[in-house]
Amino acid sequence: MRHLYRLSPAVLLLILAACASHAPHTGGGTATGEATYKVGEPYQIEGNWYYPREDYSYDETGVASWYGAAFHGGTTANGEIFNKNELTAAHKTLPLPTLARVTNLDNGRSIVVRINDRGPFSGARIIDLSQRAAQLLGFEQQGTAKVRVQVLADESKAIADATRHYGSAKPTQVASAEAPPPATASITPVTTQTLEPIHTTPAVHQQLLETKPVQEVVQVPVTGPHQLYVQAGAFTKLENATRMQQTLGGLGHSTISEAIVNGVKFYRVRVGPVPDVAQADSLLTKVKGAGVANPRTVVD
């Protein structure tokens, strides 16, 4: 039997507390309100292809948006019921559900969300958060924020195993249109905890599956200018990156930078920086118009 971490509901909640333009959503889950584990097949939205996959090392920066009342009570892509007052999110490719830490790079506020839906598909957004998540991160009024999204690997793997091996279960907290969100959220310092691996049991898996992030915010240090760029592509061959840079020559200042990902060197082609999300959206449209298949907005 696989080894996983023994996490009682109380311990998991402690860990989750320490970690820390609206878009269309695909939905597609069964209207049961019960969670199911879903990766999904490649799919196409508005001419763009997306390739869902398990990626427990996912750590990306970009722009977040939020969605709320228009989808409240609807079914998410993995069969859960969307509640705008819970800490959930939509992502284009990560498994459903996945737990991730989202940090607002402008104010350092950080929360953990349960990714259980697909999207966003409008603009240059990497994640679409519930309204309550946007409130806690401090960007509900402006609508978007520059964020960092980090998958919580151990917890997400455990939940995946729970749904694979022991079936689905209704989330502990039931969605309710009448239930108001908490007026305030406490801010606690970031702490770490070492967990001892042991043999899993159905009861442990069930606890994991039924646990949701608590509505607490942690304050983390954020440094750097966190500027917005449009990334046209990342290439393993410098000559391919150079050709892309030449293609984008008339759209603004473009650069080629090196990055090592899983031991492989990539040459990233980016245009920018640009001062705000609106101009990033405009630049993204222009880059697409130049024939680039899947550009994206990044924060660096």
Computed from CA positions of residues 130, 135, 137, 139, in that sequence, does the dihedral angle turn out positive or negative? positive
Q: How much is the pLDDT for 161?
A: 78
d(CA 218, CA 202): 31
Burial class (CB in 10 A: 0-12, 13-18, 19+), 190: middle
Q: What are phi and psi for residue 95, nearest 5 degrees?
A: -60, 155
Helical packing angle, 202-210 and 153-166, nearest 10°:
120
Residue 218 C-alpha from the chain's centroid: 17
Residue 211: closest CA among 7, 4, 51: 7
Q: How much is the pLDDT for 19?
A: 36
Q: CA–CA distance from 85 to each of 37, 125, 147, 193, 252 (Å)? A: 22, 21, 20, 28, 41
- List pLDDT tens digits, range 169-204: 444 332 223 333 444 444 444 333 333 333 456 666
- List pLDDT tens digits, range 70-119: 999 999 998 899 999 999 999 999 999 899 999 999 999 999 999 999 99
**Superfamily covering domain 228-299:** Sporulation related repeat (3.30.70.1070)
Percentage of residues in the chain having pLDDT higher than 90: 57
Contacts of 250 (CB under 8 A, 6+ apart): none
- Residue that wins the pLDDT comparison between 6 and 54: 54
- List pLDDT tens digits, range 200-257: 566 665 566 566 788 899 999 988 889 999 999 999 999 999 999 999 988 999 999 9
Neighbours of 174 (CB within 10 A): 10
- Residue that wins the pLDDT comparison between 151 and 23: 151
Q: Which CATH number is 3-219 given? A: 2.40.40.10
Q: Residue 293 — very low, low, confident or very high, per pLDDT cuts 50/70/90?
A: confident
Helical packing angle, 153-166 and 9-18, nearest 10°:
140
Q: Residue 27 — very low, low, confident or very high, per pLDDT cuts 50/70/90?
A: low
d(CA 92, CA 94): 6
Q: How much is the pLDDT for 203?
A: 67
Burial class (CB in 10 A: 0-12, 13-18, 19+), 76: buried
**Rounded mean pLDDT of the chain?**
79
Q: How much is the pLDDT for 249?
A: 85
d(CA 151, CA 28): 23
Contacts of 235 (CB under 8 A, 6+ apart): 241, 244, 266, 267, 269
Domain boundaries, the chain: 3-219, 228-299
Helices (H), the chain: 9-18, 131-137, 153-166, 202-210, 238-247, 277-289
Helices (H), 152-265: 153-166, 202-210, 238-247
CB-based contacts of 176-180 (< 8 A; 24+ apart in sequence): 176/83, 177/72, 177/73, 179/85, 180/85
91, 118 Cβ separation under 8 angstroms: yes
Question: pTM of the prediction?
Answer: 0.77
Q: Of 9-23, 86-100, 111-125, 151-165, give the range with the top mean pLDDT.
A: 86-100
